Amino acid sequence: MTNPLTGKTILLTGGTGSFGQKFVEIVLQKYDPRSIRVYSRGEFLQWQMEQKFNSHPKLRFFIGDVRDKARLSRAATDVDIIIHAAALKQVPTCEYNPIEAVRTNIEGTANIINTAINAEVNKVIFISSDKAVQPVNLYGATKLVAEKLVIQANSYTGCKGTIFSCTRYGNVAFSRGSVIPLWEEQKNGVNLLITDKRATRFWLTLQDGVQFVIDSLDKMQGGEIFMPKIPSVRVLELAEIVAPNSQKKVIGLRPGEKLHEILLNRDEARHSLEFESYYVINPEFPFWKTRESTGAVLPEGFEYASDTNKSWISKEKLRGIIEEWRTKLQEPVLSAEKTNQSN
């Protein structure tokens, strides 16, 4: 596998989020980009991130919203790669503010597409979600539409040469707003809240998610949706490991929430291929040509879901991962004052 980031200028939307923070950390440690442009709305979060990375000379910070076409156009000047991670992603928030979700997740993605084509960006990869598969909430519906926009964008590029692909995966462990940090706060209270004892989820760490996106950048021809092969976990089992001494209170599935996650449904599987560590959904359009022809054709009726997954993460491994996460939380963080003094 080649290095798709060496010497490249990268625009990272939603760059101050959990994915963006880990992406910057890994890329600065393992790769040699020309620069990373962190694009987001939050001034304070950008300031915090700048301190965290000690004002790294390869980092640039752009205040902006993906709804703002002019600002996006300025940020994308001379950019080689766009990683589009910006989104309104909290399911209840999107349900209560549907128009805002559409403006950010759908119209914002359309702005990314048009900006990338006009700026002659080489590659654009969109971070999607399992919620886009057979969506039952507005967030999932906006992600489904965004996927369709990104895949079809390959037919708009003409001689510009920009290619577009997607990655799709489930809930990310320890990310901002995810269940483990929430339970960590709840475990000293009266009850630990669980939606359904039967629920299952895919398990993916932030680091693995970032690495999968980087690997997909190297493989992409334009038009694919890449999904990693990852283990599943039972939600009740996870709760017992996080808070073994807490009472568990079942509150029922929240509006728009699924009992199990699906990353690849039966209809998509008919035009998908299986590889050693991932699946690829091939687009059903004549514009698409690929070197991804060596994968295995999936059997009729195949579905990649968290409850029927062949791979499950063990209790022992879960305990080790959670303890490692807790240890990192206790590590001292260099204050902004000390950081500025060291510079």
- pLDDT band, residue 335 (cuts 50/70/90): very low
As a whole-number percent, the residues of the chain with pLDDT over 90 amount to 67
pLDDT at 288: 66
Q: 26 and 207 in contact (C-beta within 8 Å)?
A: yes
Tens of pLDDT, residues 235-279: 899 888 888 888 888 989 887 889 999 999 999 999 999 999 999
Q: 3-state SS string over the chain?
A: CCCCCCCCEEEEECCCCHHHHHHHHHHHHHCCCCEEEEEECCHHHHHHHHHHCCCCCCEEEEECCCCCHHHHHHHCCCCCEEEECCCCCCHHHHHHCHHHHHHHHHHHHHHHHHHHHHCCCCEEEEEEEHHHCCCCCHHHHHHHHHHHHHHHHHHCCHHHCCEEEEEEECCEECCCCCHHHHHHHHCCCCEEEECCCCCEEECEEHHHHHHHHHHHHHHCCCCCEEEECCCEEEHHHHHHHHCCCCEEEECCCCCCCCCCCEEECHHHHCCEEECCCEEEECCCCCCCCCCCCCCEECCCCCCEECCCCCCECCHHHHHHHHHHHHHHHHCCCCCHHHHHHHC
Tens of pLDDT, residues 194-217: 889 999 999 899 999 999 999 999
Q: CA 312, CA 229: separation in Å to the nearest integer?
A: 11
pTM of the entire predicted model: 0.90
Question: Average pLDDT, whole number, for the chain?
Answer: 89
pLDDT at 340: 42
* 336, pLDDT greater than 90: no
pLDDT at 293: 65
Tens of pLDDT, residues 216-226: 999 999 999 99
pLDDT at 333: 44
Q: Which CATH class is domain 9-170+204-230+262-314?
A: alpha beta
pLDDT at 190: 66
* 191, pLDDT greater than 90: no
As a whole-number percent, the residues of the chain with pLDDT over 70 amount to 92
Could you count the other beta carbons within 10 Å of the beta carbon of residue 338? 11
Q: Which residue has the tokens 């629920």?
A: 199
Residue, of 17 and 291, whose pLDDT is higher: 17
Q: 147 and 129 in contact (C-beta within 8 Å)?
A: no
Q: 154 and 287 in contact (C-beta within 8 Å)?
A: yes
Give the up-direction half-sphere exposure of residue 108: CA atoms within 13 A in the CB hemisphere: 24
* 113, pLDDT greater than 70: yes
Active site positions, annotated: 131
Nearest to 84 by CA among 25, 48, 126, 119: 126
Centroid of chain to Cα 31? 20
Could you count the other beta carbons within 10 Å of the beta carbon of residue 57? 7
Q: Which residue has the tokens 């920009």?
A: 162
Tens of pLDDT, residues 16-37: 999 999 999 999 999 999 999 9
* 188, pLDDT greater than 90: no
User: Average pLDDT for residues 68-86, to the nearest whole number?
Assistant: 98
